[in-house]
Chain A
Amino acid sequence: DAGVIQSPRHEVTEMGQEVTLRCKPISGHDYLFWYRQTMMRGLELLIYFNNNVPIDDSGMPEDRFSAKMPNASFSTLKIQPSEPRDSAVYFCASSFTGPNTEAFFGQGTRLTVV
């Protein structure tokens, strides 16, 4: 298995532009998570899905952020409009239901908003 695949790896955009981050989870995993890494808060959970349904989006910072999972093999995180403070590394992770299972992470998307 190729693991969790994220694209793009790097994104540089101007303030006010729409940004879309993409994720393909590991096949067979029924949970998908979006995290944001910052120096102050480490890995923050933004939103997660179970069987393509959003379960908890309490970590989404503002209405400018939205996430979708149209099918079991694809998810997007969109920021519209983007702001410089959104600059961070965004990770997607997936896991499967089980008593003691870990989440597998993608390589992340480094977003820079100028």
Chain B
Amino acid sequence: DQQVKQNSPSLSVQEGRISILNCDYTNSMFDYFLWYKKYPAEGPTFLISISSIKDKNEDGRFTVFLNKSAKHLSLHIVPSQPGDSAVYFCAARVNQGAQKLVFGQGTRLTINP
């Protein structure tokens, strides 16, 4: 049972344009959402997060949007840069007490010069 889904295995974007990565979830008990970035041969690194009480969080070129009614999360990167090429994982936490993160399958983002 995949509670967090990233339906696009890959995405290709031109440098300077906006990259939009999507994530859907099924568990309404999730209270905290995160995006991780992963380069080859490295572990995932935290990128940005959002609490379920908010609908938007921005950090520089990265913005995460949360639509609770649709159970949908998205990450916007603008402008996209070649160094953004990586695999992006969406993650969700069941509740604060558990600290357990459930991850999606990942989306491979390629930024073309």
Contacts and interface: CB of A to CB of B under 8 A. Distances in A.
Given A100-B49, A100-B51, A43 B100 contact: no
Interface stretch (A14-22, A63-71, A77-85, A102-110): A102-110
A35 B45 CA distance: 14
B44 to A, nearest CB: 5
Interface string B64-97: 0000000000000000000000000101000010
B32 to A, nearest CB: 6
Given A99-B96, A102-B34, A42 B43 contact: no
B43 A107 contact: yes
Interface string A40-55: 1111110010100001
Contacts of A106: 43
Contacts of A48: 99-100
A105 B89 CA distance: 13
A45 B91 CA distance: 11
A100 B53 CA distance: 12
A39 B9 CA distance: 9
Given A99-B96, A100-B32, A105 B103 contact: no
Interface of B: 2, 6, 32, 34, 36, 41-46, 49, 51, 89, 91, 96, 98-106
Given A43-B89, A100-B49, A108-B42, 18 more contacts: A31-B99, A33-B101, A42-B103, A42-B104, A43-B44, A45-B101, A45-B103, A48-B99, A48-B100, A55-B100, A91-B43, A102-B34, A103-B46, A105-B44, A105-B45, A107-B41, A107-B42, A108-B41
Interface of A: 4, 31, 33, 35, 39-45, 48, 50, 55-56, 91, 93, 95, 97, 99-108
6 contacts: A40-B105, A42-B6, A45-B101, A45-B102, A91-B43, A107-B41
